[in-house]
Structure 1
Amino acid sequence: MFFAEFFEAIRDFTETGGQVLLVIGVLIFVMWLLILERALYYFVWHKQLKQQTISSWNARDDKSSWFAEQIRQAQISRLMLKLNVSVPIIQSLVALCPLLGLMGTVTGMIEVFDVMAISGSGNARSMASGVSKATIPTMAGMVGALSGVFASTWLARIGKTEKTHIEDAMTMEH
């Protein structure tokens, strides 16, 4: 019962906003799946991998030679690659949201102009659907971009902070 009403409301909203709104919805869904996957990785698996890397570094006898520094940098780089693997994709999806919203605005305005050409500029009721198809995708694109900006900034900040923590934990002995 609840799910049927929920999906009907989503269908009505999508029809009001046009086909571009469906694309924006899929984009936001994928973006948030990637964000949640990165957060889950950080809170569950990264801490264990970080401890293993630091332990293997501390178990080394040679920590001060040029070769040791290269090994240290490689271990830090591997951890950072694993931590930041989806962040550039998330940032790209954030940038795409307002662009798709703009595309929805353009397609909605084209519909308004079509209605005006066919029925004249006095028919406000027939222009209303085109105006809603012009404004709703813009709003959805902005909401998706704003939510993604905060999350991607948080993920990037975690990456920088973790790199500093790992470098401090794996200090060179001279």
Structure 2
Amino acid sequence: MIIFIEMMNSISAFLDTGGQVLTVIAGVICLMWLLIFERLFFFLKTYNGIKKSVIANWQARADKSSWNAEQIRVAQVSRLTEMLNQNVALIQSLVVLCPLLGLLGTVTGMIQVFDVMAISGSGNARSMASGVSRATIPTMAGMVGSLSGVFVVTWLQRKTKRRTEQLEDSLVLQH
């Protein structure tokens, strides 16, 4: 319990050093990873059951060679592909949003540095240090969040393409 409290205090202190923008970045990253975990759960658990059901329905069909059968096959593949791609565009948007919010944090931190310079009238390094930290920490957090999401989005897209191809191969048309 003490470790949890110390961890929460450390996170709170980190968020305070980055300013309000860092809190927004943290929220965006949490939402992004929540959606990523939902997609991973779908890929690893839910998809296989749906795929087996679609293949079983296809195998049970008597007609697998007509134009109607081909359209049903295309529709089934499209539905499953749509399920595989669900929320991927939103995850991509959040990945793109992270560095932009980091840039916003940089601008707000630099504004704080310039305010200190205007008030103190000099380049006092101690008084400018908090503004510089508010400028660099959100940038770093936005880039780290974005990079972590880029790898997962690429993996999801690759897996979606591969599983769509596998489904198309499983639903064979008879000519």
Q: What TM-score do the two structures reach when normalised by structure 2?
A: 0.97
Shift of the alpha carbon at 1:4?
A: 1.2
For 1:14, the equivalent position in structure 2 comes to 15
Q: Distance in 1 between matches of 2:152 and 2:73?
A: 30
Shift of the alpha carbon at 1:51?
A: 0.7
SS in 2 for 1:62: coil
For 1:68, the equivalent position in structure 2 comes to 69
For 2:51, the equivalent position in structure 1 comes to 50
Unaligned runs of 5+ in 2: none
Q: Distance in 2 between matches of 1:122 and 1:20?
A: 25
Unaligned runs of 5+ in 1: none
Shift of the alpha carbon at 1:46?
A: 0.2
Superimposed CA distance per residue, residues 29-73 of structure 1 (whole angstroms, 9 cap, x where no aligned partner)? 110010011001111110010011011111111111111111111
SS in 2 for 1:121: coil
For 2:60, the equivalent position in structure 1 comes to 59
Q: Distance in 1 between matches of 2:89 and 2:51?
A: 22
- Amino acid aligned to 2:67: W
After TM superposition, what 4+ stretches of structure 1 lie above 3 angstroms from structure 2? none
Q: Distance in 2 between matches of 1:171 and 1:91?
A: 33
Shift of the alpha carbon at 1:84?
A: 1.3
Q: Distance in 1 between matches of 2:45 and 2:23?
A: 33
Paired residues for 1:1-150 under 5 Å: 1-150=2-151
Percent of aligned pairs sharing the same letter: 61
* CA-atom RMSD in angstroms: 0.7
For 2:159, the equivalent position in structure 1 comes to 158
Q: Distance in 1 between matches of 2:140 and 2:18?
A: 10
Shift of the alpha carbon at 1:2?
A: 1.1
